[in-house]
Amino acid sequence: ENYKPTPFDIKSFLETQRKNLQAISEAQQTAFEGMQALAQRQTEIMSQIVEENSVIAKEALSKGTPEEKIAKNADLFKSSYERSIDNLNEMSDLINKSNQQATGIINKRVSASINEIKAAVKSPKKKAA
């Protein structure tokens, strides 16, 4: 006589929580893959920087007048700087893309979860009627 039915569908609630955990796991995996791609790209950029610095050092030690060396090095520094800016923009885009994908997964799940919770709360009332 004292038993009162729960105000919501337990099975639906548990399924919603399972889906929430699955979405969190998927978002974490997406973020991890984004960080891996970023680390790989940073490694490639560092190799490129080492190569550029080697070229600059060779140019500084090459034959020629000081004025010629300064002119060559100025061009090398300029192109190196421009590549660095491009690389920073590329890495920023990688980070933003990864964050947007992970956030999209969570946002989609939050919206679905709210709808599922609403349905689970309404469900027992329909059965009782």
9 token code pair:
């569908």
Half-sphere exposure of 51 (CA within 13 A, CB side): 7
pTM for the model stands at 0.70
**DSSP assignment of 37-66:** HHHHHHHHHHHHHHHHHHHHHHHHHSSS-H
* Residue-wise pLDDT tens digits, 15-65: 989 999 999 999 999 999 999 999 999 999 999 989 888 887 887 787 888
